[in-house]
Chain A
Amino acid sequence: MYNILTSSIEIMIPLLLAATGGLFTEMGGTLNIALEGLMIMGACFSYIGAALTGSLRLGLIIGILSSVTLALLITRTNRLLHTNIFISALAANMLAPGLAAVISFRLFQNKGILTFSQVPSLPIWHYPFIGNHSPFLLISMVLLILSYIIIEKTPFGIHLKASGIDGDALRSYGINPDNTREISFIISAVFCGLAGSVLSFELGSYIPGITAGKGWIALVIIYLGGRNIFGILPSAFLFALAETLSNNLQGFSFLPGDIVNSLPNIFTLIVLIGVSIYNKKKTSFRTTKDNHDTHH
């Protein structure tokens, strides 16, 4: 039982970080489909950075910067060249693995699994009641609270929420919702860069496909959490628990690896359907005209 709890917490950290980041763009009214690609940037380049500098901290910074660079590429082309933000964000999911492969091949003549002995292993801290975990657990909790404060208690948060509900109204108030949305995109890139770094640092190597759909799962975590900062904590834990249980199934040989790998996807799909049934029921009970379609 205790093992399941600790490994669930470990799996939860990157999911929670990515979902917290995604929540910012979600609040701004954009479905951030690029979470997956941004995480890949973080995972690959933080590891390469740590290998080249020999420092986890510098690696982390390089990982976050690379994720932010990709996000800036998306938002800048979107605003300067008037692209469809959704299609441009989708491009990130194609560019990130390509960049990871090309650059790691250039540096190490290897575009597959990267493992370097000079990358230090993560320090382990003791947390009361929940066992030993990396400092990322504390970081993700602090960032969660910080995000709550930013979204709920600062003018920026209010503008962000307003830009998600009615951008034109915000514009008439003298604030450009495009700026607010762009900042939210950058914030989500910082979170995803961090989430990606957690993945490769915890594993002690970078593997192509390391994110394994976690960016998509993070989107569903946001829905399940009711687009609420404290809703995403339990829902991220639920997904992590499900993944832990399916990983444990792999220990028993009656389920083959390929099937076990598909379980998180099935679980995510079922949860997504559940959430949409719930939302549909909720809106049909509403007497007022629902604003259901505004999110599309």
Chain B
Amino acid sequence: MRIHKETINKLPLGTLKILAIALLLITLLTLTLSKEPGAALSAIFFGSFSNSYSFGNFINSSVPIILCGLGILIALKANLMNLGGEGQVYFSAFIVTMTSLSLEKLGLFGAIIGLLAGGIAGGAIAGFSAFLFNKWKTNVMITTYLVSAFFVSITDYLITNTFHNPATNLLSTKQIPSSQWLHTILAPSALNTSLIYAIFACFVIRYFLYKTLTGYEMRMVGSNIQFARYGGIHNRSITIKALFLSGFFHGLAGGFIVLGTYHAALRGFTGGIGWSGLSVALIAGGSPLATIPASLFFAWLQSGATIAMQQSDVTSELAEIAQGAVFLLITSNVLLKGRNKNV
């Protein structure tokens, strides 16, 4: 089950081919399924650019995907698969909301502590799977998935029962005070300063992976475990660090969704993000900076499909199918090698 280095490190041309196949698929599906394919297609492809509101929301929805992509990428570098992004984001978002609310008096500083608490919560959830793997070789993929599914249910419960805000019709917690909100960049859309932090995080991760000792060790363990052992790298502590960091970034994603966009934890509001993070990390091909365009691609597809659902007769799940198609093909050596010749 090793996700070999060659399959994660790839050059953009082949990736572009795969993305083009996904777009072709979405076009063909719309042509067959829709009664007004012209309107549906123009909503999917151009809807996100039609006004500043849609554009801002489209860019804003890429922020948590970038952070989840980074989280998956770190785990992949150490040859670990984190399938629990969903629960890590969701539970952390809840923790960030609750911590920020209880530190209401500290204002923005309270929100920063909240964000850290969320990151640590996400890291602990993912780190638990690393602990199980180190101790008893329990399959990381299955445990990350199961632990995450458990936390999704728990968070559902906490949001709708224990910490439910009866003042609203939504299934949500109390809202955090506006002193803790991140600044909006493009009103009236939800785009906010978390975009800058997410881009900054990409550079931090690039520095971490390629310029620090721990980052080097992580890549060594991921690419050649035997060699790493001979070099005296502690495989076990690397597993813990990689999965903790992976969960930490998922936690930050959850935190930014709360502080920047929703200002509260809503039932099921992060649904599907785990998949997006995985797809982005695979498309980015192991490069932290490439998670930015990869996230923009999926954010564009998802917001376009949502707009198409509002304005036309197709459902937003078209984006899910396109994302699935990318997933299906993204490790293809045949499609990716073609561009090797060109370079």
A165 at the interface (CB under 8 A from B): no
Closest residue of chain B to A261 (Cβ to Cβ) is: B153
Closest partner residue, chain A, to B328 (CB atom): A91
Q: Roughly how many angstroms separate A236 CA and B4 CA in the complex, as a whole number?
A: 34
A82 touches B324 (CB 8 A): no
| Chain A residue at minimum C-beta to C-beta distance from B141 | A33
Contact of A102 among B142, B145, B321, B330 (CB under 8 A): B321
Give chain A nearest CB distance to B175 CB in angstroms: 22
The residue on A at minimum CB distance from B318 is: A102
Query: Closest chain A residue to B322 by CB distance?
Result: A98
Q: Mark B321-343, 1 if CB is under 8 A from A, else 0.
A: 10111011111111100000000
Do B149 and A213 have beta carbons less than 8 Å apart?
yes
**Residue B103 at the A interface, CB < 8 A?**
no
In the complex, what residue of chain B is closest to A219 when comparing beta carbons?
B142
Main secondary structure on chain A at its contact with chain B? helix
Partner of B33, one of A74, A80, A106: A106
List the B side residues contacting A292 at CB < 8 Å: 137
Contact flags (1/0) for B297-335 with A, using CB distance below 8 Å? Answer: 000000000000000001101101101110111111111
Chain B contact residues, majority secondary structure = helix
Please give the distance in Å from A205's CB to the nearest CB on chain B.
19
Q: From the candidates B4, B161, B318, B332, name the one contacting A81 in the complex (CB within 8 A).
A: B332
- Determine whether A147 belongs to the interface, using a CB cutoff of 8 Å to chain B: no
Residue B193 is within 8 A (CB to CB) of chain A in the complex: no
We find that the number of chain A residues with CB closer than 8 angstroms to chain B is 47
B282 interfacial contact with A, CB 8 Å: yes
Contact mask for chain B residues 155-170; partner A; CB cutoff 8 A; 1 contact, 0 none: 0110011000000000
Bound-state Cα–Cα, A99 to B32, Å? 13
Residue of B nearest to A268 (CB): B146
Given A91-B327, A94-B327, A101-B315; A83-B153 close (CB under 8 Å): no
**Which B residues are CB-close (under 8 A) to A57?**
none
Q: How many residues of B contact A (CB 8 A)?
A: 49
Given A94-B323, A98-B324, decide whether A111 and B317 contact each other with a Cβ distance below 8 A: yes
Instruction: Determine whether the beta carbon of A86 is less than 8 Å from that of B150.
Output: no
A87 and B137: CB pair below 8 A?
no
Whether A273 pairs with B132 at a CB distance below 8 angstroms is yes
State whether the Cβ of B214 lies closer than 8 Å to any Cβ in chain A.
no
Decide: B149 and A95 in contact? CB cutoff 8 A: no
State which of B142, B331, B333, B334 has its C-beta within 8 Å of the C-beta of A87: B331
A19 to B7, CA, bound (A): 29
A31 contacts B334, C-beta separation under 8 Å: no
Closest CB in chain A relative to B201 CB, distance in Å: 24
A83: chain B residues at CB < 8 Å are: 328-333
> Judging by beta carbons under 8 Å apart, are B136 and A269 in contact?
no
CB distance from B169 to the nearest CB of A (A): 19
Q: How would residues 122 to 158 of chain B score, 1 for a CB under 8 Å from any chain A CB and 0 otherwise?
A: 0000000000100011110111011101101110110
B97 CB to nearest A CB, Å: 17
The answer to the question of A234 belonging to the interface, with a C-beta cut-off of 8 Å to chain B, is no
Q: Is the CB of B136 within 8 A of A276?
A: yes
In the complex, are the beta carbons of A73 and B333 less than 8 A apart? no
Q: Which residues of B contact A171 (CB under 8 A)?
A: none
| In contact, B325 and A84 (Cβ under 8 angstroms) | no
For B325, the chain A residues whose CB sits under 8 A away are: 91, 95
Q: Which of A86, A98, A105 has the most CB of B within 10 A?
A: A98
**Residues of the A chain whose Cβ atoms lie less than 8 Å from the Cβ of B329:** 77, 81, 83, 88
In angstroms, Cα B327 to Cα A292, docked, is 29
Is A250 interfacial (CB-CB < 8 Å)?
no
Partner of A90, one of B4, B150, B327: B327
The A-contacting residues of B in range 146-205, CB under 8 angstroms, are: 146-147, 149-150, 152-154, 156-157, 160-161
Between A and B, 20 residue pairs with Cβ closer than 8 Å are: A81-B335, A83-B329, A86-B3, A87-B331, A95-B320, A95-B321, A95-B327, A98-B317, A98-B323, A101-B317, A105-B314, A216-B142, A216-B146, A262-B154, A266-B150, A269-B143, A276-B132, A276-B138, A277-B136, A280-B137
What are the 6 tightest A-B residue pairs by CB atom distance, in nearest-first order? A262-B153, A98-B320, A95-B324, A258-B157, A91-B327, A84-B331
**Contacts A101-B315, A262-B154 supplied; 11 other A-B pairs, CB < 8 Å:** A77-B328, A82-B332, A98-B321, A105-B317, A213-B146, A258-B157, A261-B153, A262-B152, A265-B150, A269-B143, A280-B136
